[in-house]
Structure formats: C-alpha cells, structure tokens
Chains A and B, each alone.
Chain A
Amino acid sequence: MALTEADVLEIARLARLHLEPDEVARLRGELSAILEHMEQLKAVDTSGVEPMTHAVPMRLRLRADEPETPLPVEEAVGQAPDRADDFFQVPHILKTAASGGEGKR
C-alpha cells in the first residue's frame, strides 16, 4: 500500500518521532515499498488460525512475595538528563499561562 505524506506524519506523531522534511519524503517511499512486499501475506489462508504470540508455550509464573534489595535511588536517578532531588524532572506537561508550551492534545 502506498502511504501519503499525511500518513507518514501521523505515524511519526504516534511514535513521538520528529522527522525532518527530507526524512518524511524518503520514509514515504521506503515504507510504501516495504509494505508492498508485505502484501504477499494476504495470499495465505489463515482462517481459523490462532495468532502465535510467543515462540514457546508458557505460563506466567509468580515469584515468592519476599522483599528484595531495590536499586539504590542514587543509581536509579543518577544518570537522568535532568533531576530534582530524588525525582526525574521533565518539561511541563500542561500548558500554563507562564509556560507558553503545548497544551493537552
């Protein structure tokens, strides 16, 4: 299937992936070609076939409910790009009069 530029931009938005204009153009062509290749799956009769989600059949296990030593806080937040005390710090999430940033989408 051939993707439009709007398709590419929408997928990029869903993936939280900033693309430069030349990347949008290139990806539009490449993804269309790759998806063209995928079309051959349509020829396979899969009626009544249960989707395979894991390579080997498995049951989820529960571990014993015993406390373990967690990662020390300093090691957990020590390599964050931005932190405040023991917390990860991020740019504002909600638009405020002062911030001028993006609002809720």
Chain B
Amino acid sequence: MSEPLHYLPAGELARRVRARELSARELVRATLDRIAAADRRLGAFLHVDAEGAERRAAEIDEAVARRADPGPLAGVPIALKDMIATRGQPTTAGSRMLAGWIPPYDATVVQRLRAAGAVIIGKLNLDEFAMGSSNENSAFQPVRNPWDLDRVPGGSSGGPAAAVAAGLCAAALGTDTGGSIRQPASLCGVVGLKPTYGRVSRWGVIAFASSLDQVGPLTRTTADCALLLEVIAGFDPRDSTSVPEPAPRLAAELGRGAAGLTIGRPRELELPGVDPEVTAAVDTALEVMVHLGATVTDVSLPHAPYWLPTYYLLAPAEASSNLARYDGVRYGLRAGPPGQGLHDMYSRTRGSGFGAEVKRRIMLGTFALRSGYYDAYYKKAQQVRALIAADYQRAFDEVDLIATPTSPTAAFRLGEKTQDPVTMYLADVFTMGAPLAGLPGISVPCGFTPEGLPVGLQLTARALDEATLLRAAAAYERATDHAGRHPPESNLTGASGGAG
C-alpha cells in the first residue's frame, strides 16, 4: 500500500500494531504531527490529549510486547465529537456554557473504545449542542471543509467529518439526531453511519433530543465503519433505551456483495431543490448497484414532505427540556450580578451561555410544549411521526434498502445559509426520516461535482439491519474508487502534490 500512514484504514493500523510492524507510540506521534501540520487551517479539534494518548500508546506497546492482545483497535488513534464525555478531558458540546468543564466519567462508548485498544487522541468541533448543519454554530471556531477551505464541512459533526477526511485521526465518533453524522460525512467525502435507535449506548453522551439521538462512526472505509460499530454497539444497562441485543457481527457481511438486494427510490424525495450534479452522482451510483446484481425500484414514503416540520417541532421540544439542566448550579457557566435572586441567575446564565441557534431551538421547543399549544403542535407532530414510521414499514415490505442523496447539495460556502434558519434546516431534508423512524442509515461517498466536491449516497435499512447497509455499501465501495481519493494536500499543509 502506497498510502501515507495517516490515510491507512483503522483495521490495517491495528493489524500492524498487533503484529509489531508498527508501534502504537510511533503511530500516536505521527498523528499528533499530522494534527499540528493540518489543523491550523481546518479547526477540527477543540482539544488534543497528547499526553494521555502517548501514555496509552505506551501501554498498548507494552501489552503487545508481552504477547497480550490489546484488542481490535490496538493503538488506533480515534477522536470524538465533543458531545461525548471523557473522564479528565474537557467536554464542551461546542458551547460557552460548558467551557472548562471536565467530566468525572467516560461515556460507555469511550469505555468500549478504550477496552478495544483505541487511543483517544482528542475532542472534535461541532455545532453548539449538535444543533446545526454547517458547524458555523460552534461557540469556539468554524470548521473548514478540507476539499475547499471556503466551504463548510456540514454539521453538526463537522469536526469529525473534516478530521477523518484529512487524515487527522483514523476514525471518529459523531452523534446524529437529524442527520448530524450522515450529512457532514457526505460533504467531506467519508463514510458515516447512524445506527438503529438504541443500538449504541447514549450513556455519557450529552443529550440533545433523547428520542432521536444516536452515536455512530465516521470513517474512510466501510470496513472501518463495521469495525467501530462492532466495538461500540450492544446492550448497556445504564441506558434505559438500549436495545437488549448483542453487538452485530459485521465483518462477514462486507464480502457478500449486493446481488439479490432490492433498493427503493422514494418518489416523494425527488425534490426541486436538489443540485443536478448530486442527482447525477446518485443515479450513477444506483446503476453501479444494478451492475452488482441489485434491483432498483420505485417506492413510496407518502409523508416524506412532513419530515422537516415534524422534526423541527419534536427535536427542539426535547432539547428545550434536556437543556433545562444548564442553569448555573452544578457545573458550567454561572452569570449575572449577585443579589438578584435565583430566577435572574438562571436567565442570565442561559442568556449569555447559549448561542443564537440554541436559543432559537429552546424558544421553539418551549413554544411547542406550552400549555394551550401542546396538542396543536407537539402532539400533532408525534402523530405525524407515527405515520412517517408506518411509511417505512410498508416500504420495507417491498425493498431491503432505501436510497436517496444524503444532502441536496455538495458543501456550501461559509456564511451562505447563516442568515435564514429555514434554508439551513433544508440541508437535512433527506436525513431526518431515518431518526424519526428510529432506523439505521449510512452515507457513502458516491462521486464528485465538477468543482471536486464530494457527493454522498444515503442508504436506509430496517431496524437493526446495519448488516445490510454495510453489505451494500462495501460492495459499492469495491466497485468504485471514491474511497481512495483524498482532499488536496495543498489545502491542508501547504505542501504541493501529496496524496491527491
């Protein structure tokens, strides 16, 4: 393999570390150098834990030396969206509200990564409290798209998508509530998977909308995606919504090919606002699937036009409740002049700690839950949600997978959509259906626009059927060469040429 170390798959890195062909310390050093060289331009990291990573790498090397197996992610440098609690390391949710807070425990997914031998290299930038589609809502800094520094990486997992695309870590974990893993994966040209609701523990993950939130991997290959999902998935008694199923075994699925699968294209999602280049790339991808032996057919999701209004009532309502905990009492920011009483302290803390988008959603959610409006807005949206889920049930009687673009456009310019919230919300028009119905979805790179920006294909599957998602995605990946393409090195380190 002629790839530089920073673009090698996580699985290959772990193999080399376990075989003593590469030391974990060497790998951490190379990763820290790569971050130092390229992240000044991208802004993907909020915190790099060089000391902890080097200490952990030394432990891994020691384990390998005494013939102990550190696990399937031995020495692999992994970074986390800063929604995921890490013991002893800052966790901010991209908000001034939590600046400086150090969690006293690791999230379940972090415990599982560490137990599999992963080295947690740092925490990644995001839209504040995971609310946004461009990463421009981070209280600290925007993230830039490694394919074009004037463009957004998508959001809310913009840091994870950009860091993985640019080789600043081998893989990352993000969170997805309405598209926050899949949409940035699409805009940055990487693989991003949102598991079935309940598949991955939410314990220790900062809550945004609890009936929708899921943690999932962002990787450069489908094999790495399967590898990470196997490690983080599975029942967790600490999460009351955890599905009592063991982690799926996925590696064997990857080689099965796409022959015999039926893929549906929802007629209702042939929308006027979709870029012709995106439509063309998705059409071509589905032709590839047909060549691989899959059948592509029309399918109907009649309530798809209502995904957006349903999502933007339910998610803000849940957020307004979840974010009530940021009140200046137990952790995080406290603001306001003393002597004005408790209510004033709450209001001023929240007024100065939250950014504009978070305030907008808290206001929207508070409105929807308000007595007198509850039935007309919140309950109505819950009923439409049931119809949306029923649409999928019927569709999956006929097909195994549903295919759409992940995002209606390739990466847009910084500042292009910040003035109009509804225009920004439309960036997730294809991705909100899966979380509303609790279903797994993946975005895989499926080509490039003439300007060289990545386009993503989204596949959605039945509940708990991540295996079929990854099987189809892996077959497609083998038949194309998108996974081997990396952002221009000149964007990242100023070097000319490079991996190309």
Contact = CB atoms under 8 A, between A and B. Distances in A.
A77 to B, nearest CB: 8
Contact of B421 (A34, A61, A90): A34
Contacts of B332: 79, 81
Contacts of A93: 341-342
Contacts of A25: none
Contact of A16 (B237, B327, B381, B435): B327
Interface string B294-316: 00000000010110111011000
Main secondary structure of the interface of B (DSSP, over half): helix
A51 B383 CA distance: 4
Interface string A36-57: 0110111010100111111110
Contacts, number: 180
Interface in A26-79: 27, 30-31, 33-35, 37-38, 40-42, 44, 46, 49-56, 58, 60-61, 63, 71, 75-77, 79
A71 B104 contact: yes
A102 B340 CA distance: 7
A40 B366 CA distance: 20
Interface in B289-345: 303, 305-306, 308-310, 312-313, 320, 324, 327-334, 338-345
Interface string B353-384: 01010011011101100100000010111111
B22 interface: no
B367 A31 contact: yes
Contacts of B384: 41, 44, 46, 49
A81 B355 CA distance: 20
A103 B327 CA distance: 19
Nearest to B345: A91
A105 to B, nearest CB: 7
A12 interface: yes
A82 interface: yes
Contacts of B362: 15, 17
Interface stretch (B144-152, B385-393, B402-410, B451-459): B385-393
A34 B312 contact: yes
Nearest to A57: B438
A44 B305 CA distance: 11
Contacts of B114: none
Contacts of B342: 90-93, 102
Given A14-B366, A81-B328, A95 B341 contact: yes
Interface of A: 3, 8, 11-12, 14-20, 23, 27, 30-31, 33-35, 37-38, 40-42, 44, 46, 49-56, 58, 60-61, 63, 71, 75-77, 79-82, 88, 90-93, 95, 99-102, 105
Interface of B: 101-102, 104-105, 196-198, 211-212, 237, 240-241, 243, 303, 305-306, 308-310, 312-313, 320, 324, 327-334, 338-348, 350-352, 354, 356, 359-360, 362-364, 366-367, 370, 377, 379-387, 389, 421-422, 435-438, 463
